[in-house]
Amino acid sequence: MMSDVATPGKTSFLSKKIFGVQVLYLLAIGVLVLAYFAWKLRSAPSGDVTEEDPGTAPENADDSQGLYDGFAAQPTPTYDPALGTGTTVETNDSWAKKGVEWAAQSGLAGAGDTQLILQKYLNGDQLSFEEGKIRDAIIAHFGAPPEPITVGGTDIEGVKRQGTPPTYHTIKSTADDSYSDLALLYYGSKANDRIDLLQAANAGLGKSGPWPVGTRVFIPAYHAPVYFTSTKSKYNTLKEIAAHNGTSVATLRILNDGIKDTLKSGTKVRVA
């Protein structure tokens, strides 16, 4: 059986001396030095993130509590096209460019054809029925051209819009005292569908002007005409059609000149 007692005449390793200092004391000093450096490392500031790895969180950070706000925690920025300056139409040329691009992308019409149609429209030239449908679709999507246009060689120089539809316009002179003048000013055209829209929104002013200076006229937002087709049994009178479409008989009469109270089946009636 072995004994823990040192053999007489032999010296223990821990009792040996190096440079005159016992090994046991040297080991104790080494342990203290290591403990000191370990404490320094753990107490270093949490913001000491190396440049090589900017997304690494400090060891003592608790990401589950939202304490770490490093790069990895930042949301990816998104672009909101509604905030971009490109959404503001400032000229008829930029309006037409948008219309051409949209018509081509949506399959409404080819870019070349659409460009010719909008040029004719902005120049005040007469459009065919099919061309008018393309123009109306573009206006319904982007709104009317931002600048007044010339129609048939007649301009409205000196008359300014008083807001963006829907809005009110106060008559200032003989240059803006009729539905046709206002249709040209706000919708860019004196087409009947635009005049009808103004008439329906201002039934109390009658079907035409001129009105005295100071008269307020409501300018509704433009939309393409909406039609309803009469049927044989149920919807063949103005009263029935008006009730079904949430409007009035008086409005239907304004939107459909000369319309009768009872209609044949298949008759198209403008309801808005």
The answer to whether the CB of 185 falls within 8 A of the CB of 159 is yes
The reported pLDDT for the residue numbered 55 is 43
- Last residue of a domain, which of 147, 181, 215? 147
- Note the helical H segments in the chain: 23-42, 92-106, 111-122, 129-142, 179-187, 192-201, 238-244, 249-255
* Whether 214 and 156 share a structural domain: yes
- Are 202 and 254 in a shared domain? no
For 176, the domain range is 148-223
Q: What is the pLDDT of residue 14?
A: 61
The structure tokens listed for 122 are 């902005």
pLDDT at 216: 95
- What percent of the chain is predicted at pLDDT more than 90? 18
Is 60 exceeded by the pLDDT of residue 68? no
* Dist. CA 195–CA 178, nearest whole Å: 9
Most confident segment among 15-19, 72-76, 122-126: 122-126
- In this predicted model, which residue has the larger pLDDT, 26 or 196? 196
Q: What is the tens place of the pLDDT at every residue in 15-39?
A: 666 666 666 677 777 788 787 777 7
Q: What is the pLDDT of residue 149?
A: 62
Domain count, the chain: 3
Position 38 scores a pLDDT of 77
Domain stops at, among 184, 200, 223: 223
Q: Is the residue at 126 inside a domain?
A: yes
Count of alpha carbons within 13 angstroms of residue 123, beta-carbon side: 9
Whether residue 38 lies inside any domain: the answer is: no
Domain boundary among 130, 147, 164: 147
Does residue 204 form part of some domain?
A: yes
For residues 196 and 158, state if they share a domain: yes
Q: Is 189 domain-assigned?
A: yes
Query: How much of the chain exceeds pLDDT 70, in percent?
Result: 69
Per the domain annotation, does 181 fall within a domain? yes
Q: Is residue 72 a part of any domain in this protein?
A: no
pTM above 0.75, yes or no: no
